[in-house]
Homo-oligomer: A and B are copies of this chain.
Amino acid sequence: SKTLKIAVVPGDGIGVEVMPYGVRCLQAVAQKFNLSLEFEHFNFASCDYYEKHGDMMPADWKEKLSKFDAIYFGAVGMPDQVPDNVSLWGSLLKFRREFDQYINLRPCRLMPGVKSPLAGRKPGDIDFWIVRENTEGEYSSVGGTMFEGTERETVIQETIMTRVGVDRVLRYAFDLAASRPRKKLTSATKSNGISITMPYWDSRVREMHKQFPDVAVEQYHIDILTAHFVQRPDSFDVVVGSNLFGDILSDLGPACTGTIGIAPSGNINPSGEFPSLFEPVHGSAPDIFGKGIANPVGMIWAGQMMLHHFGFTEAAAAMLSAIENVLARADLEIMTADMGGRGNTQSLGEAVEKEI
């Protein structure tokens, strides 16, 4: 069986704290299923690296990382050290664009043992996928400032959507919806207010729908859609959105399932031409960094998505069961604070490792 070559990039903040448990769980499952996983660690793509080298990454980062099948990524961002736009555009957002990871795939599942902040929701009630465009849209680096420093100061930033970029993420989302029992796709838009790019997005949804007549499509403006996430999260199956709308919905969705601390994410290059990247949704969380209390499940679950993506389905299933079993026990001595527990990164990380 093939060897999976994994670049480990912990990054900043709690990324550094949760990464060891992600790697340990992957090693445990590899041993059990006799998989060949090769890990190499990199300390760039971090604000510490920036402070030493004046840049987030070495000039040959792309060459270095292209050799790997996947990047296992923690989190980036320490705004007291480096402005967030500098650190993120110098690392994660570069990976997404230069490795053409145009799909950002994020599950949204209420797990047994985890309490939802929503009244009366139980495990099984919330179980859908968010498919987010990951390379263009609102996340553009095009724009600038005129009349800088004066009363007339005017700052412009362009949102850019291409047919190629929109169609490929829609096709992926329709494909995913078509493969599921409910066959339902929800498209996030804001075509009443954002009057040029969003009507375009809608028109491509209508066009793509013709190729997937079995899929039921609903479309909501992003404002009311966030309300529906809170009021009827059970009604979603696959939700597709632009870079920004997908970003927002994929924090809100996991929050409705209890905590974004358990949510994983795959930044996928479907052709495999470049490595895909797997990371927790939570980010570097400077406010809790250094306390050892970060939830490691998002990181571990991201590793699970990675195995699944590369076709190690049995090992991936075992890893997901291990996560579910540990959470289902709802042992407050082991669970982290974001889930109401008194445990820490170590207690929860080791519990999952042991369960595997």
**With a CB–CB cut-off of 8 A, which chain B residues contact A138?**
159, 193-194
> Is A197 touching B119 in the complex (CB atoms < 8 A)?
no
> Is B226 touching A226 in the complex (CB atoms < 8 A)?
yes
Q: Check A283 for interface membership: any CB of B closer than 8 A.
A: yes
Min Cβ gap A321→B in Å is 27
> Is B244 touching A226 in the complex (CB atoms < 8 A)?
no
Within 8 A of B (CB), among A123-143: 138-139, 141, 143
Q: Check A333 for interface membership: any CB of B closer than 8 A.
A: no
Q: In the complex, what distance in Å separates the CA atom of A348 from the CA atom of B354? A: 58
Number of interface residues of A (CB under 8 A): 66
> Is B251 touching A197 in the complex (CB atoms < 8 A)?
no
> Is A159 touching B159 in the complex (CB atoms < 8 A)?
yes
Interface residues of A (CB under 8 A from B): 77, 83-85, 87-89, 93, 115-120, 138-139, 141, 143-145, 150-164, 190-200, 222-224, 226-228, 230-231, 243-244, 247-248, 250-252, 254-256, 260, 283
Q: What are some 14 contacts across the A-B interface (CB < 8 A)? A: A77-B192, A119-B119, A138-B159, A139-B194, A141-B195, A143-B196, A155-B160, A155-B197, A156-B158, A156-B196, A223-B247, A223-B250, A227-B251, A227-B254
